[in-house]
């Protein structure tokens, strides 16, 4: 009993210390992010001759503007409602309805009152930007209600703070702007089944191609076609500055670049972290095509009734704590738009230098594919993907799991590292409660990354076993 009390007392003191230190640390970060807001506005104007909006304050009041019938490209009509802002993209032939997470704007801090003081200044800046973009009215007009901040977000030119190296901009030379897909298939091109791999946040297809692909058995390599995709905004895939990286955009690009491009009628799905949300959404959209669903560290948080899902998930993933380090990093990336842009400016813009230094310091003994995945993205892509997918899908994942349980007839397997400090193991157990047939494998002493990296041979065999169990008695060639 004395030992138990001592442990409880120690745990309570640790939590108190974590919260106390965190209060002061994040208050300082609030101030830094506040100052960086004006710093970047000045730099953006200097380098790009235009004020750029940000998400520091709530969006300005929607206002009516006239849209001519001859207008080409995108126009955004925004109306905030509940957890999301409704976004409509208008072109000459199509109307697209989409959603952006309210966490982009609603990130309460101790400096909220200070930011309200400069709200008038920001309104003047946005008004100035709007006036600079006015065009002469056309003969045929339609009155629309437009959120000017979101419109400015979608009319950006390439940012000066992003990397412009050949690797990061290779997609600009392509005419179709499809996602980059790394394909490994049998030499005779007669694979019997397909496997689609979806990576997680701040990663790329190399997370799979450098670990699993070389370790699959000869039998698997002769029977399966492996397709590892770089998500929109990551790796060698397009990183458009006119994108808000919403769930609909991510799914649409995967469907067009993978499912349609390679004419997949049936396939196995393997996804990690953020990719699990996209995999579940794909399973809901294509229930008859999924042969097996394998999720690694799925970010599923059961949202209590009456609680706003987006805000609840953001506070679970990014609790504003300084310990453990993974939680601190997630908090900085989630709560501070301008600090995270600074990190992107320093690291992502100089990823080649960091890769060179890593090879030099380790005498070329360390492979740098994780650095490539972690750094080869834009701040626009990472910021919007984090909020619109991980946080924005907070209340949707539960519905996806219900649909998988009731309407999808495929094997569901979940792997989770026992020492995962970013996505707790409880998330996987939550999946099990929602989908009772799901098989849960908790791997002791492994974290969010080493659930694959370092045990790739073992995990490759586990995947092959899953696929064999899911295989129908009669196989048909896909070619």
Known catalytic residue: 420?
yes
The catalytic residue among 89, 273, 393, 395 is 273
Residue 154 near residue 148 (C-beta atoms within 8 A): no
The catalytic residue among 250, 272, 416, 448 is 448
Known catalytic residue: 199?
yes
The catalytic residue among 30, 420, 428, 447 is 420
**Strand-pair category, 290-296 with 141-146:** unpaired
DSSP track, 328-393: HHHHHHHH-HHHHHHHHHHHGGGHHHHHHHHHHHTTT-S--HHHHHHHSB-HHHHHHHIIIIIITT
Estimate the crossing angle of helix 397-407 against helix 426-434, to 10 degrees: 40
What residues contact 159, with CB distance under 8 A and at least 6 apart?
Answer: 48, 241, 378, 379, 380
Name beta bridge partners: 181. Answer: 229
Residue 431 near residue 311 (C-beta atoms within 8 A): no
Q: Within 10 A of 214 (CB to CB), how many other CB atoms are there? A: 12
Q: Which helix (H) or strand (E) holds 221?
A: helix 218-223
The catalytic residue among 101, 199, 292, 379 is 199
Residue 326 near residue 421 (C-beta atoms within 8 A): yes
- Tell me which residue has tokens 């698997």: 220
DSSP track, 460-473: HHHHHHHHHHH--S
- What is the spatial order of strands in the sheet that 76-81 belongs to? 76-81, 84-90, 95-101
Residues recognised as catalytic: 199, 273, 420, 448
């Amino acid at each position: 009993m004395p030992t138990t009390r001592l442990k409880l007392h120690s745990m309570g003191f640790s939590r108190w210390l974590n919260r106390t230190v965190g209060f002061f640390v994040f208050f300082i970060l609030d101030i830094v992010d506040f100052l960086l807001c004006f710093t970047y506005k000045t730099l953006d104007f200097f380098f790009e001759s235009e004020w750029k909006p940000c998400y520091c304050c709530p969006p300005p009041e929607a206002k009516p503007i006239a849209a001519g019938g001859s207008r080409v490209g995108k126009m955004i009509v925004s109306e905030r409602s509940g957890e999301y802002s409704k976004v409509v993209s208008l072109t000459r032939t199509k109307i697209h309805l989409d959603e952006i997470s309210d966490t982009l704007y609603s990130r309460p801090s101790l400096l909220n009152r200070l930011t309200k003081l400069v709200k008038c200044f920001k309104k003047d800046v946005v008004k100035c930007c709007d006036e600079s973009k006015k065009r002469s009215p056309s003969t045929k007009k339609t009155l629309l209600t437009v959120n000017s901040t979101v419109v400015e977000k979608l009319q950006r030119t390439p940012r000066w703070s992003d990397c412009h190296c050949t690797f990061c901009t290779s997609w600009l030379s392509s005419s179709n702007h499809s996602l980059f897909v790394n394909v490994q298939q049998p030499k005779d091109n007669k694979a019997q089944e397909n496997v689609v791999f979806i990576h997680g946040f701040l990663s790329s297809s190399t997370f799979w191609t450098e670990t699993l692909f070389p370790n699959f058995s000869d039998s698997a390599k002769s029977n399966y076609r492996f397709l590892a995709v770089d998500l929109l905004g990551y790796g060698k895939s397009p990183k458009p500055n006119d994108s808000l990286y919403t769930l609909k955009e991510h799914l649409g690009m995967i469907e067009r670049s993978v499912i349609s491009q390679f004419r997949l009628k049936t396939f196995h799905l393997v996804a990690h972290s953020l990719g699990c949300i996209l995999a579940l959404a794909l399973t809901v959209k294509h229930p008859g095509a999924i042969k097996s669903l394998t999720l690694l560290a799925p970010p599923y948080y059961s949202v209590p009734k009456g609680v706003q899902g987006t805000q609840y998930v953001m506070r679970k993933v990014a609790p504003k704590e300084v310990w453990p380090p993974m939680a601190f990093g997630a908090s900085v990336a989630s709560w501070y738009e301008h600090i995270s842009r600074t990190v992107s400016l320093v690291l992502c813009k100089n990823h080649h230098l960091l890769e060179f230094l890593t090879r030099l310091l380790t005498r070329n003994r360390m492979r740098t594919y994780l650095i490539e995945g972690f750094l080869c993205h834009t701040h626009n892509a990472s910021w919007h993907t984090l909020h619109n997918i991980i946080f924005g899908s907070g209340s949707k994942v539960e519905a996806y799991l219900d649909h998988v349980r009731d309407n999808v007839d495929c094997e569901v397997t979940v792997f989770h590292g026992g020492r995962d400090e970013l996505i707790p193991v409880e998330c996987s157990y939550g999946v099990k409660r929602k989908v009772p047939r799901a098989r849960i494998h908790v791997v002791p002493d492994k974290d969010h990354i080493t659930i694959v990296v370092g045990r790739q041979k073992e995990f490759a065999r586990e995947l092959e076993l899953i696929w064999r169990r899911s295989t129908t008695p009669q196989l048909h060639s896909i070619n």
